[in-house]
Structure 1
Amino acid sequence: MNLNCNRSLFPILSSHTHLASCSQGAIAIPVSKAIEDYHQSLLNDGTNWGAALKKADAARGLFAQLIGAEKDEVAILCSVSDVFSSIMSTLTDHPKRKGLVFTDIDFPTVGHILYAQKTFKDHLSIVRSFNNEIPLEQYEKKVSNDTLLTCIPHVNYCNGYKQDVKKIADIVHGKGSLLFVDAYQSAGHIPINVKEMRIDMLATGTRKYLLGIPGVAFSYIRKELAKELNPRVTGWMGQEESAAFDLLNPIPAVGTRRFETGTPAFISIYAAYEALRVLLEVGINNIESHLKNLTQFGLQYGLEKGLSLAGPLTIENRTSLMSFHVENAPLVEAKLRERKIIVSARKNVIRIAPHFYNTQDDIQLALDELSQIV
């Protein structure tokens, strides 16, 4: 399948080389139209509450399809930080376990939220990486019979290192721990099946590889687990319909929807629905195959240009996110943007993150220009 026939869906590609899907994916015409449709419905009709709720439910269904879940196992919130904060609010009263395990390659919001939990402040354990990777033995050592929750990123946001979630799940479940997966850098370009991978909880937002805009995060919580959890971060949208307007008798919704809070960002949901539809139509397996070829080329060509790669040197345990060490990365990012090449700086690296609409020529151009600058 020639994925690049879809390049015409993305107007930015007519003027720029967009390689920043790890930060913000390119916006497709159907996504842009959905945003305009929401706007026009308010201008023309004054209110669109019923239609917006139906769109949210449809988007929930598409995301469930993307990750191999059931629709009632998916909640819609505004950000992954909101999702994780809500999850943590349910865990403070566990009768036996207090341990929380996270990694030094997690996105900072994970640490910020965990350190804010006074109940767990003396029970935090960090899994350390070695040469930008985490050996499975580290999870064997750090996850104990006291661990309540183990938090991992599917993919390292700095260098593209990809973890074997299924093997980690086997380890942490063997110790009796729950597993939370941050899929912000994987959902949309790597196949995910939460049942096969034995994930208990997963969260991701839509503005990166899911090709949407800020304002929407999807949360998956395994059905059997969701029934046992009662979030303290809640709101009227997380109640059973019969209790939504009952001030004194709240009844949490069945399933993961009990984690929803207030009115969501409907305009972002409209965008998310169309973005998910595009991704599912193209096919995540097709996207992954295409990106593996681009990554193989990019790794080899970058080394030929004398660039210093961060993260794994092969495609076996990494994604298409390719990071190269540079000094003053934000300045280099700005210089590349002046040349109409959109990449993303983090710490001391420039991240080149293609999607299915990118070509080998895009990668070569970006690496040529980057090597000239550094």
Structure 2
Amino acid sequence: MTTSPDTLLRFRDAFPILGTSTYLVSNSLGAMPAAVTDHLADYARQWQTRGVRAWAEGWWELPVKMGNEIAPLIGAAPGTVVMVPTVTQAMSAILSAIDFPPERNEVVMTALDFPSVRYAYDALAPRLGARVTVVPSDDGIAIDLDRILAAITERTRLVAISHVLFRSAYIMDAAAICAKAKSVGALIALDAYHSVGVIPVDVQALGADFLCGGVLKWLCGGPGGCFLYASPGASEQLAPALTGWQAHRAPFAFAEQMDYAQGAWRWLGGTPVVPALFAGLEGPRIIAEAGLEAIRAKSTRQTSRLIEMADARGWRVHAPREAERRGGTVAFDVPHAAEVAKTLLARDVVIDYRPGAGIRVAPHFYTTDGELEACVAAMDDILATGAWTAFAGVHSTVT
């Protein structure tokens, strides 16, 4: 039996690190496209030769221009997506835009949402008159759908959850959750950092009021480039208290009072992080060319193979077994996982480690099947030879 050629491997040459490392950590930081060097040089040239004039020659509009590049990847219309520095800032801006009357003051989250957003919501919600309800997990991998749906009631003002859980890559049933939120009149904000770029997403089909994520991971765009989608209805009805001058209708009038811009512009903050936006343009363009349906199909196949190899070795897998509920990452809880991870990194097999989950392996569209086999073979060797002991007790900031 012959297998079809992997046409997605045609993109490998666009990512220089793939020539020197077995790069399996796109769930944390996507590989850098070679063209980013040129884009950053273009930024430097503009600053060097145009100085302050560069703001009027494209820099000021860049958060919306790049948002329009992201929009097709999430099924959004032009002008509904803008770029902000962090998802925590985006989700905090959403929270700050909402009123919380006593009879409808609940925010529904889960125990497996990314901690950074939880920190902000736990701190901000009480000051806004809101109360955070956290739906627990029974196994640290998934959140029971029925339990989430039951938590969304007529008292719920906002449902703010992850689309894909960061530790386990469990895909939440966003369609069912959005439908329940809508049925009781609640708003819905999805943190899609771990889905966009490896899973097809359609905000309009879901009916989400807000969706945010970043180009750091699966979109191969580097740090500092996060996106916020706001539905036209949400932008018409709401305006964030956490704001800045770029959200003003006439920012360069320097008016004393805020007069919010229309549409997605109103969700911007202060001065944009221009270098990060220059760096982030290329990755989403490559992802769009590769095609999210093809990327998802390959991801499902390769993560299934990783689970097969783990099962053959008796390693506990911290990831969903059902392909339709699994994102792009598989975590192995191998013996001495922290030390094995450090040994792999020393061998240029680039993965990451999370306490309670193990070694996270995240193939992407540019990953070969051979690289997966080599990664697991390296784990076998490290465990068999005791090579991991060289890192026993060694502190590392790389997790």
Equivalent in 253, 260, 266 of residue 258 of structure 1? 266
Equivalent in 15, 20, 24 of residue 15 of structure 1? 20
Range that drifts further, 244-253 or 266-275: 244-253
Is 1:268 aligned to residue 276 of structure 2?
Answer: yes
Is 1:142 aligned to residue 151 of structure 2?
Answer: yes
Structure 2 vs 1, CA of residues 93 and 247 (structure 1 numbering), >3 Å: closer, same or farther? farther
- Kindly indicate whether the alpha-carbon contact (under 8 Å) linking 1:58 and 1:273 is maintained by their aligned counterparts in 2: no
Counterpart in the other structure of 1:303: 311
> Within 1, Cα distance between the matches of 2:380 and 2:155?
49
- Kindly indicate whether the alpha-carbon contact (under 8 Å) linking 1:100 and 1:120 is maintained by their aligned counterparts in 2: no
- Report the secondary structure of 1:214's partner residue: coil
Is 1:210 aligned to residue 219 of structure 2?
Answer: yes
CA displacement 1:141-200 (0-9 Å, x = unmatched): 211110001121111111111112111111222222111111000111110100111111
Counterpart in the other structure of 1:29: 34
- Report the secondary structure of 2:13's partner residue: helix
1:333 offset after TM fit, Å?
Answer: 2.4
> Within 2, Cα distance between the matches of 1:329 and 1:110?
27
> Within 1, Cα distance between the matches of 2:65 and 2:89?
21
Q: Which amino acid letter does the alignment assign opposite residue 18 of structure 1?
A: Y
- Report the secondary structure of 1:350's partner residue: strand
Q: Which amino acid letter does the alignment assign opposite residue 34 of structure 2?
A: I
Structure 2 vs 1, CA of residues 100 and 297 (structure 1 numbering), >3 Å: closer, same or farther? same
Counterpart in the other structure of 1:40: 45
Equivalent in 235, 238, 244 of residue 244 of structure 2? 235
Equivalent in 76, 82, 99 of residue 106 of structure 2? 99
Range that drifts further, 119-128 or 346-355: 119-128
> Within 1, Cα distance between the matches of 2:61 and 2:109?
36
1:54 offset after TM fit, Å?
Answer: 4.6
Counterpart in the other structure of 1:77: 84
Structure 2 vs 1, CA of residues 328 and 152 (structure 1 numbering), >3 Å: closer, same or farther? farther
Equivalent in 319, 331, 334 of residue 342 of structure 2? 334
> Within 2, Cα distance between the matches of 1:267 and 1:4?
29
> Within 2, Cα distance between the matches of 1:174 and 1:154?
19
Structure 2 vs 1, CA of residues 210 and 372 (structure 1 numbering), >3 Å: closer, same or farther? same
1:18 offset after TM fit, Å?
Answer: 0.5
CA displacement 1:14-66 (0-9 Å, x = unmatched): 11011101110000112232122212322343342223235443311111111
Counterpart in the other structure of 2:359: 350
Range that drifts further, 113-122 or 227-236: 113-122
> Within 1, Cα distance between the matches of 2:338 and 2:242?
36
Structure 2 vs 1, CA of residues 162 and 247 (structure 1 numbering), >3 Å: closer, same or farther? same
- Kindly indicate whether the alpha-carbon contact (under 8 Å) linking 2:90 and 2:228 is maintained by their aligned counterparts in 1: yes
Is 1:112 aligned to residue 130 of structure 2?
Answer: no
Structure 2 vs 1, CA of residues 145 and 17 (structure 1 numbering), >3 Å: closer, same or farther? same
Which structure has more relative contact order (CA 8 Å, sep 6+)? It is 1
> Within 1, Cα distance between the matches of 2:328 and 2:100?
40
Gaps of 5+ in 2: 1-5, 384-399
- Kindly indicate whether the alpha-carbon contact (under 8 Å) linking 1:244 and 1:250 is maintained by their aligned counterparts in 2: no
Range that drifts further, 342-351 or 90-99: 90-99
How do 1:155-194 and structure 2 match up within 5 A? 155-194=164-203
Structure 2 vs 1, CA of residues 257 and 330 (structure 1 numbering), >3 Å: closer, same or farther? farther
Equivalent in 321, 329, 334 of residue 329 of structure 2? 321
Q: Which amino acid letter does the alignment assign opposite residue 148 of structure 2?
A: Y
Is 1:279 aligned to residue 287 of structure 2?
Answer: yes
Please report the TM-score for the alignment, with normalisation by the length of structure 1: 0.94
> Within 1, Cα distance between the matches of 2:242 and 2:251?
17
Could you say what the CA RMSD is over the residues aligned between the two structures, in angstroms?
1.8
Structure 2 vs 1, CA of residues 259 and 121 (structure 1 numbering), >3 Å: closer, same or farther? same
* Total equivalences in the alignment: 373
Is 1:225 aligned to residue 230 of structure 2?
Answer: no
CA displacement 1:78-102 (0-9 Å, x = unmatched): 0001101111111245574101110
Structure 2 vs 1, CA of residues 92 and 57 (structure 1 numbering), >3 Å: closer, same or farther? closer
After superposing on structure 2, the runs of 4+ consecutive aligned residues of structure 1 that deviate more than 6 Å are none
1:121 offset after TM fit, Å?
Answer: 7.1
- Kindly indicate whether the alpha-carbon contact (under 8 Å) linking 2:162 and 2:191 is maintained by their aligned counterparts in 1: yes
1:234 offset after TM fit, Å?
Answer: 0.9
